[in-house]
Structure 1
């Protein structure tokens, strides 16, 4: 049985011993996956349960709300992906300015020692924790000796590792959360966001180990796509997931029943028409029936996965030129997706 705890008060008093890791895990990219793989190995060796500790909201949204980056995924998706790696539990801690005032030792004692009865803590070299990020790897090792848990350090997962992995497998592990540190850049949430911001969903997928996705409700739009012969499923503006750069993409739409449909996806304001707000919309290829009532996605919560960028946004002279380009986009998307493994 797997557990999702929304606070330390929900952890059973008899839970443990536990092998624990901690992080924001935005995107659960290959670096994070490497930590999770080591967590599982450590737990098997010690006969412990596996727990990932994460935070909601993201600390950056609390400390610097005006400049915090858009998240790659929402908390529910983060929990779901973490549990897909075979964890026994995910502990979500509500992050506040008051919570952030705990010293490094208070955090470790409250969460790892008293809360989860940790036998081991698995971290990367760059781990930081406690008030003002005052705790580092040396602090964690010192506290491990004091409170009786092992500290297992995971090597960084770099772009070279990611490229090698992409050649041999569609999914894998990894271990970091931030920037470049020299010759080889390590896998990080920052790098994923940078790739998405320039529309490079292929690189984002290599770092993530899967296509980047957005989740949202299908809402009514202006019906321009339907009038042009390319009806689209428009995602609500409060949809979850980092929006890639404007452009046209090949990808997948997963409906509420779990059926995957190949799709041509538009991100942007459609400059051919004036006054159109920025939106994400997906045209399902090879629909089962062109009758609107026979393929109604309105009100459904769907997933849109981005596989490859086809082009940027262009303002065309009129609807006719746009229709011709849309035909080209659909054909190109179909060619790309025919050889693509859905969800990989």
Structure 2
């Protein structure tokens, strides 16, 4: 049998402050138990109503990493498929939660599960009576706004990355593997690390941002201050899909093709503009670099 556990359950997309609070409370209520975070992949809506699923704030690897950083000893990823979707709430609990040997289950007060989302916190309590305790937490409110993955997506859609960071508890991060672009930035003196945006993933609104560029999976790697562009490059009209392009300030010698990197967004500088010519574009990029230094407080 598994050791005694305090179990938290949720989608945990983005692992924002509300999710972090669920894990914090769970740990504080049962400090002697292992903390198990149960999450689902893919997003349940991609199975329940394909095409209606939200754009994700993080991929599965990021989610697991963030849950561990928030205190989870174990992350259990449950494959969400049509069989799971059709399970009655009690059957889901018997098959997926009871084997974890919970002494307590902690969820958000709005947690729903089981066939047609018919299970809720009261269903959990009824099932757990005599077996485990159940704690339902109210949603976290931050600066008069409820913290949720939906609210963070809305802020990103408006380019409000600083506000999104308030709900996340950290800057919004987009990660991926650097690909070769048109190399215009290198020609202009501002080489960039280019990251295509996969379908189904969230990024901030088109525009230019100040932030940081970091190598993934290398704990001791430096974080370079970066001017970041998001969009399809309207000046040249030959970038069909949205791309995140990060220029590491004062570095024109980085060889990052094929390297996994992360881009952390700190503040929006401006929207995207279609320039009349290359000299005007270069002047604006230079101004963006100056503004990035000011925002990040670097020389």
Question: Which TM-score tier does this pair reach, normalised by the shorter chain?
Answer: over 0.9
Q: Distance in 2 between matches of 1:87 and 1:199?
A: 31
Aligned residues: 294
TM-score (structure 1 length as normaliser): 0.82
Q: What secondary structure is seen at the aligned counterpart in 2 of 1:219?
A: coil
Q: Which one of 250, 275, 285 corresponds to residue 326 of structure 1? A: 285
> Retained in 2: the 8 A contact 1:263–1:282?
yes
TM-score (structure 2 length as normaliser): 0.94
Matches within 5 A, 1:1-344: 14-44=1-31, 47-113=32-98, 115-145=99-129, 147-160=130-143, 184-238=144-198, 241-256=201-216, 257=218, 258-277=221-240, 278-287=242-251, 290=252, 292=253, 295-338=254-297
Q: CA deviation at 1:128?
A: 0.9
> Retained in 1: the 8 A contact 2:55–2:200?
no
| Gap regions ≥5 residues in structure 1 | 1-13, 161-183, 340-344
Q: Which consecutive segments of 4 or more residues in structure 1 shift more than 4 A?
A: none
Q: CA deviation at 1:155?
A: 2.9
* Pair 249,239 (structure 1): closer, same or farther in 2 beyond 3 Å: farther
| Gap regions ≥5 residues in structure 2 | none
Q: Residues 41-75 of structure 1: CA distance to partner in whole angstroms, max 9, x if unpaired?
A: 1221xx32110100011101112221211100001
* RMSD (Å), alpha carbons: 1.5
Q: Distance in 2 between matches of 1:52 and 1:303?
A: 24
Q: Distance in 1 between matches of 2:288 and 2:87?
A: 53
Q: Residues 10-44 of structure 1: CA distance to partner in whole angstroms, max 9, x if unpaired?
A: xxxx3121110100000101111110101111221
Q: CA deviation at 1:275?
A: 2.0
> Retained in 2: the 8 A contact 1:214–1:239?
no
Q: CA deviation at 1:334?
A: 0.9
Q: Residues 195-242 of structure 1: CA distance to partner in whole angstroms, max 9, x if unpaired?
A: 111111111111100011111111111011111111111113449952
Q: Distance in 2 between matches of 1:16 and 1:195?
A: 41
